[in-house]
Structure 1
Amino acid sequence: MSAAFQDVSAVLLEYFDALYFCDVEKLQSVFHPKAIYATADEAPFLHRTMEEYVPVVAARQSPATRKEPRRDHIDAIDLAGENTAVARVRCSIGSRDFVDILTLVRTEGSWRIIAKVFQIIERET
C-alpha cells in the first residue's frame, strides 16, 4: 500500500469522525477551504461553499449524541497521480444513507477534500 493511499485513507477516517461527532474543527481540517458540496437529490440542486456548509454541520445534533450506529465505509480510492485522488465512501446520518464521491487534492504536502458530490438514500426506519 502506497504512502499516498494510506494518507488519503487517514483523511477519510477523519472525515467520518467529523460527520459522526459534528466536529467542525475536524471537518475544516479535512476539507480544502475552497471545496464545494453538492447533490442533485435536493430540489432545487444543492450547492454549498465551505462557508455555507460548516454552519449546517455545527447546528446539527450529532449522530454520536443520538447513539446512532456507525455505518461508514470506504468503498474505493483511486489515485490519479501524486496530487489527485477520488474516493467513494458511504456513511449514515439519521434515516439517510449517503454515497459520497469525494475528490481530494494534495496541496502543501497535505491531502484535503476539494469536492463532495453525494447521493441520498432514504432508509426505512
Structure 2
Amino acid sequence: MTRTQNDITDVIQDYFDALYFCDVDRLQRVFHPKAIYATADETPLLYRTMDEYVPVVAARQSPASRNEIRRDHIDAIDLAGENTAMVRARCSIGPRDFVDFLTLVRTDGQWRIIAKVFQIIQRPS
C-alpha cells in the first residue's frame, strides 16, 4: 500500500470510529466543512450540509453504547490523482448496513471527505 493509500485509510478509520462512537469532533475532522451528505433511498432525496448532518450524529445513541458488532470495511480506494480519491466503504448502524461512496480531496496536505453518497440496506431481523 502506498503512503497516500495509508493516509486515506487512516481518514476512513477515523470516519468509522466517529460513526461508531457518535464522536462529532472526530467527524468534523474527517469531513471537509463544505462536504455534502446524500442518499436517494429516502423520498425526496436526502441531502444535508455538514451543519445539518453533525447534529444528527450528535443526537444518536452510539452503536458503541449498545455494544453493536462493528461491520466496517473498506472495499476499494481509487486515486484520481494527487488530490482526489474515491473510497467505497461499508458500515452498519443498528439493523441497517450502508454502502458509502466517499469522495476525498487533499487540501493543505490533509485528506478529507468532501462528499458522502450512500445506499441503505435493511438487514433481515
Q: TM-score range by the shorter chain?
A: over 0.9
Q: Which residue is 1:101 aligned to?
A: 101
Q: Which residue is 1:39 aligned to?
A: 39
For residues 52 and 101 of structure 2, what CA distance do their matches in structure 1 show?
19
Amino acid at match of 1:115: A
Please list the CA deviations of residues 72-109 of structure 1 after superposition, one character each: whole Å capped at 9, or x if unmatched. 00000001110000000000000000000000000000
Shift of 1:22: 0.2
Q: Indicate yes or no: 2:89 matched with 1:89.
A: yes
Report the secondary structure of 2:58's partner residue. helix
Report the secondary structure of 1:78's partner residue. strand
Shift of 1:2: 1.3
Q: Which residue is 1:122 aligned to?
A: 122
Q: Which residue is 2:62 aligned to?
A: 62
For residues 75 and 22 of structure 1, what CA distance do their matches in structure 2 show?
22
Amino acid at match of 1:67: N
Shift of 1:10: 0.4
Write out aligned runs for 1:7-18 (5 A): 7-18=7-18
**Number of residue pairs matched by the alignment:** 125
Shift of 1:42: 0.6
| TM-score using structure 2 length | 0.99
Please list the CA deviations of residues 98-123 of structure 1 after superposition, one character each: whole Å capped at 9, or x if unmatched. 00000000000000000000000000
For residues 56 and 88 of structure 1, what CA distance do their matches in structure 2 show?
22
For residues 54 and 113 of structure 1, what CA distance do their matches in structure 2 show?
14
For residues 93 and 5 of structure 1, what CA distance do their matches in structure 2 show?
26
Structure 1 residue ranges (4+ consecutive) displaced by more than 6 angstroms after TM superposition: none
| TM-score using structure 1 length | 0.99
For residues 60 and 103 of structure 1, what CA distance do their matches in structure 2 show?
24
Shift of 1:58: 0.1
